[in-house]
């Protein structure tokens, strides 16, 4: 007896919800057809696809952007005996660098003709120099605070900032 009442109640609830959701389905279908018939629908679709396309293009551009096109590795090595500081520069690219110029803190320079692919350059800070108008070189002091290193060669350039120059 209880099962029969439960069955009747279940059928009533199912019938009632089917009627409500059936009407909603019809109203929703009518609204969709009406919306698609409007000319703005195509415009909104174009906006959505265009926005998606811009996101895809921007993502690809950022994927291929390389902040270090030379593949340069820069490291500072402090040595206690004798007290000195060395700048270690490595060519991590597949091609040699020609006409390599290192500029320390925008003032002192060091140059080398070629740095082969995978090659290393280990330069003491006191080897960097600046030449005055009379042609007299002045060398960087040993205790110089390293702020920036600019690497320039035939393959491009790279800037190493404060964080990369901390030992």
pLDDT, one tens digit per residue, over 5-44 is 777 777 777 677 766 766 766 777 777 777 767 777 677 7
Strands laid side by side in the 97-104 sheet = 137-139, 129-131, 108-115, 97-104, 149-153, 156-160
Q: What are the sequence ranges of the domains in the chain?
A: 2-64, 72-165
Q: How do residues 111-166 score in pLDDT, each as one tens digit?
A: 999 999 889 999 988 889 998 888 888 888 877 888 888 999 998 888 888 656 76
Q: How do residues 39-67 score in pLDDT, each as one tens digit?
A: 776 777 788 888 999 999 999 888 887 77
Q: Give the domain 72-165 fold.
A: Immunoglobulin-like (2.60.40)
Half-sphere exposure of 70 (CA within 13 A, CB side): 24
135: left (phi over 0), alpha (psi -120 to 50) or beta: left
pTM beyond 0.85: no
Task: Identify the pLDDT of residue 140.
Answer: 85
Q: Are 89 and 157 in contact (CB under 8 A)?
A: no
């Amino acid at each position: 007896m209880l099962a029969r009442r439960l069955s009747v109640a279940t059928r009533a609830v199912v019938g009632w919800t089917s009627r409500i959701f059936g009407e909603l389905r019809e109203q929703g279908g009518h609204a969709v057809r009406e919306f698609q018939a409007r000319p703005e629908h195509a415009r909104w679709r174009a906006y959505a696809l265009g926005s998606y396309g811009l996101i895809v293009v921007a993502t690809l551009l950022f994927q291929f952007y390389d902040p270090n096109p030379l593949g340069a590795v820069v490291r500072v090595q402090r040595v206690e005996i004798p007290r000195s500081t060395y700048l270690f520069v490595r060519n991590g690219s597949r091609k040699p660098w020609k006409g390599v110029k290192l500029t320390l803190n925008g003032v002192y320079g060091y140059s080398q003709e070629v740095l082969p692919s995978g090659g290393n350059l280990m330069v003491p800070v006191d080897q960097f120099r600046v030449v005055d108008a009379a042609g007299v070189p002045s060398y960087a002091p040993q205790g110089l605070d390293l702020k920036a290193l600019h690497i320039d060669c035939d393959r491009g350039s790279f800037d190493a900032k404060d964080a990369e120059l901390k030992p």
